[in-house]
Structure 1
């Protein structure tokens, strides 16, 4: 199948960009956030890198058929942003963005309309001292509930489970999961008592909060750090992982002893995003290998398109939930965000 990847806009983010996320909640699917961070070179630095000051920004964009030039409608100055995820449904009548920060915190922002559409800080929860919160995921990407859960990974090798309540965030438990950084944590969207983690120790783990305090399954087949995990919203038991070893792997979540199939993407796999309407299509951010679109089936994973217009580490990537499909991508040291139209 021929894939057309047409760049529409490019924007300089000012400081290093590492995450882009489209809002999935109607009627705000034209809302995009871009997260950034960099070391504060003006502040006195500790020899311990974990205590170094990191500055960040969240840029809020509204992109629709009337957009001619990119510019943020809001800029938030916060700690360094390591990851962002929108909840797939409203919480207390508002879309909610969860942010993992360099201060070891999870911050929840409500998207509110007060004349203009703006993000407002709702709650801030510290998950640990002198750590970076590295990734997070919502439990309710498939099935909404009144008190969704968040799983958060951090630089100390831990994974923390939180519940959103009427008053904010409640910490459920913390697991020491990996010997080095826990790069990624993600839910099984079909069974939200189950979640996964991947670490710099090359280990991929599965947890079930109903039956054990620790991991119920541990896999050591990755050849480098595990950096991406994504459950499939439309296909039960399908799970993708990515690694610094440059491979994307497809798993059956019922049996994690070995993957179903794998392929080399030509770059460390930092993010994997299933297309919201094409169940066999995946967007991959491949660090030094640029961005790829994959066709995934139980027999094989094929690269069907690539985008190499960024000039630095490919970190952030996401599909819009509108059609035609727009893709946001961002890269680190060159401080660039691109918006492209994908014709599948």
Structure 2
């Protein structure tokens, strides 16, 4: 096993507010957007402490030749930003989830780089309940061909699905298509949506099955599987298919909150998908999402595994390698290789840490990789919350 790389920062800057999320812009690859979360406290005349949460979205430019960072634009917001994701198909658009239970859609212009706010929509009736995470629906997730939308989780245990059969920029056409409540008030930290391909009645064709995975603060992973598009009768008024089955693993395998879920692009095993999961308990797991759940491989990463991003997939003989970027809260950032080795009808899984970036002095909630590289070198940007630090560093995989 090779020695773990310990990269050093090429550039370090400090933001004016704590960074909670960041993503590179698909349309303008040398730019990335940062969401921030600023908690302000003031004392009233009665000596009571009042808290105010504000934030911003900031557009930054990375020079990949010099590693320099420069601020292009900052848009101040009346709420804190919990999450931020670019649309998987309309790649000039991104949405944020906020501390006041609303979602905002923005566009990024490539001709003269800048951010433009399109709409803000209240997606929880109680503005004191924050929206924690947002996941765009992948292609073919809804049963209506023209549908587009997202799932959002909240701190009161709710997960909701919103969508439209019109343009996503028309907020008046976006409606709630489904709401899923938990039995206990608990933060739902993460939601992942996947359109799984399974063999249909006719083995010559594949059915598309929409699946939703959520992870909560109790350490439970919840799976909801909807009707196949091929078996469901098409109904323009019901783009979200009927719920076919759901199960919860009752925190059998995660000893703390489930904070990240990454469905892997591999075949189902016994009609259940293979995921990567991250948890506050510092474990990265290869997880077989059956009714009871099964851990196929596990590796401690030294910090709470807050976010996971699939960077690349490579095949070599009977092996498939998945390269993953992990934001590990108090431990910094990790680059990890997850290997699937096929042996007859079974597969063996292994997790190996390739690189550790440890210069962050507080919670690393957000990292991403510049997509312009054609070599084995990764150019990474990672952040930490309380010290407001953003670092640029490089490593080889």
Task: Confirm whether residue 248 of structure 1 aligns to residue 265 of structure 2.
Answer: no
Shift of 1:153: 0.8
Task: Confirm whether residue 336 of structure 1 aligns to residue 389 of structure 2.
Answer: yes
Task: Confirm whether residue 228 of structure 1 aligns to residue 260 of structure 2.
Answer: yes
Larger relative contact order (C-alpha < 8 A, sep ≥ 6)?
Answer: 1
Task: Confirm whether residue 109 of structure 1 aligns to residue 151 of structure 2.
Answer: no
Distance 1:121 1:338, change over 3 A: same
Q: TM-score scaled by structure 2?
A: 0.76
Equivalence for 1:297: 339
Distance 1:184 1:28, change over 3 A: same
Shift of 1:277: 5.3
Task: Confirm whether residue 239 of structure 1 aligns to residue 236 of structure 2.
Answer: no
Work out the CA distance in 1 between the residues paired with 2:51 and 2:265: 37
Residues 22-52 of structure 1: CA deviation (Å, up to 9, x unaligned): 12x3x4222201111021224869xxx9x94
Q: 2:358 aligns with which of 299, 304, 308?
A: 308
Equivalence for 1:161: 161
Shift of 1:205: 0.3
Shift of 1:292: 1.1
Q: Indicate the RMSD between aligned Cα atoms, in angstroms.
A: 3.0
Shift of 1:82: 0.5
Deviates more, 1:188-197 or 1:125-134: 188-197
Shift of 1:149: 2.5
Work out the CA distance in 2 between the residues paired with 1:63 and 1:213: 44
1:68-83 correspondence runs (5 A): 69-78=68-77, 79-83=79-83
Aligned residues: 336
Deviates more, 1:294-303 or 1:143-152: 143-152
Equivalence for 1:326: 379
Work out the CA distance in 2 between the residues paired with 1:225 and 1:171: 27
User: 8 Å contact 1:273–1:319 — kept in the other structure?
Assistant: no
Equivalence for 2:58: 59
User: 8 Å contact 2:83–2:133 — kept in the other structure?
Assistant: yes
Work out the CA distance in 2 between the residues paired with 1:262 and 1:181: 24
Q: TM-score scaled by structure 1?
A: 0.87
For structure 2, the 5+ residue unaligned runs are 197-207, 228-240, 315-320, 341-348
Task: Confirm whether residue 197 of structure 1 aligns to residue 193 of structure 2.
Answer: no
Distance 1:96 1:244, change over 3 A: same
Distance 1:88 1:44, change over 3 A: farther
Distance 1:342 1:309, change over 3 A: same
Equivalence for 1:121: 117
1:37-52 correspondence runs (5 A): 37-42=37-42, 52=51
User: 8 Å contact 1:284–1:294 — kept in the other structure?
Assistant: yes
Work out the CA distance in 2 between the residues paired with 1:198 and 1:225: 7
